[in-house]
A and B are shown apart, each in its own frame.
Chain A
Amino acid sequence: MFPTEHFLYLGALLFSSGLIVVIVKKNMIMVLLGIELMLNASNLNLVAFNQLHPGSVAGQMFALFVIIVAVCEAAVGLAIIIQVYRYYQTSVPDEVSELNG
Chain B
Amino acid sequence: MIASYVFYLFEAVAAISAISLIFIRNVFYGALLLIICLLALAGIFVLAFAEFIAVTQILVYAGGILVVILFGIMLTTKISGKPLVVEHNNKFSATLTGVTFFALLIYALSKESFINTPSVASQENFNNLQLIGIGLMSDFVLPFEIAGVLLLIALVGASVVASSVKSKNT
Contacts and interface: CB of A to CB of B under 8 A. Distances in A.
Contacts of A99: none
B88 A25 contact: yes
- The main secondary structure of chain B at its interface with chain A is helix
Q: Which of A6, A64, A92 has the most CB of B within 10 A?
A: A64
Given A16-B98, A67-B60, A51 B88 contact: no
B64 interface: yes
Contacts of B119: 1, 51, 54
B155 A16 contact: no
B110 to A, nearest CB: 8
Interface in A70-87: 70-76, 78-83, 85-86
Interface of B: 3-4, 7, 11, 14-15, 18-19, 21-22, 27, 30-31, 34, 37-38, 41, 44-45, 47-50, 52-53, 56-57, 60-61, 64-66, 68-69, 71-73, 75-77, 84, 86-91, 93-95, 97-99, 101-102, 105-106, 109, 114-122, 128, 131-132, 135-136, 139-140, 143, 147, 150-151, 153-155, 157-159, 161-162, 164
